[in-house]
Amino acid sequence: MTLSDSQSAGTSRLSCRSLAVHAVGAVAVAVAVALLCPSLWEPAGDRAGPAAVTQQDPAAGDLGRPVALTAEERRLADQLYKQEGFNVVASDKVPFVRRLPDVRPQLCRGRTYDTDLPAASIIINFHNEVWSALLRSVHSVLARTPAHLLYEILLIDDASTKPELGEPLERYVSDHLPSKVTLHRLKERHGLIRGRHWGAQQASGPVLIFLDSHVEPCDTWIEPLLQRIKDEPHALVCPVIDNIRDTDLAYQPAERVAGGFTWSGHFAWIEAGGADGKLPSDEAAPVRQCGVTYRVLGTANQLFVTG
Instruction: Give the residue ranges of the chain where pLDDT is below 50.
Output: 1-13, 15-48
Q: Is residue 175 in a domain? A: yes
What values do phi and psi take at 152, rounded to 5?
Answer: -175, 160
Looking at residue 48, its pLDDT comes to 46
Looking at residue 288, its pLDDT comes to 76
Q: Is residue 125 in a domain? A: yes
In order of 56, 96, 136, 163, 241, the CA distances from 76 in angstroms are 16, 21, 21, 20, 29
- Work out how many domains the chain is built from and give that number: 1
Q: Is residue 50 in a domain? A: no
Q: Is residue 58 in a domain? A: no
Looking at residue 296, its pLDDT comes to 66
Looking at residue 79, its pLDDT comes to 96
- Segments forming the whole domain that contains residue 223: 13-38+104-246+254-306
Sign of the dihedral through C-alpha 179, 181, 185, 186: positive
Using one digit for the tens of pLDDT, what is the confidence trace for 88-100?
999 999 999 999 9
Q: Is residue 261 in a domain? A: yes
Please state, in angstroms and rounded to a whole number, the distance separating the CA atoms of residues 149 and 118.
7
Q: Is residue 81 in a domain? A: no
Structural contact between residues 117 and 207, judged by C-beta atoms closer than 8 angstroms:
no
Q: At 257, which helix (H) or strand (E)?
A: strand 257-261
Q: Give the global pTM.
A: 0.81
Q: What is the CATH number of the domain that holds 259?
A: 3.90.550.10
Long-range CB contacts for residues 272-279, cutoff 8 Å, separation at least 24:
272/31
Looking at residue 109, its pLDDT comes to 82
Please state, in angstroms and rounded to a whole number, the distance separating the CA atoms of residues 59 and 43.
10
By DSSP bridging, strand 120-126 and strand 257-261 are unpaired
Looking at residue 30, its pLDDT comes to 33
As a whole number of Å, the end-to-end CA separation of the chain is 27
Q: Is residue 263 in a domain? A: yes
| Cβ atoms within 10 Å, residue 204 | 10
Q: Is residue 194 in a domain? A: yes
Angle subtended at Cα 93 by Cα 92 and Cα 96, rounded to the nearest 5 degrees: 75
Looking at residue 236, its pLDDT comes to 85
Amino acid at 260: G
DSSP 62: G
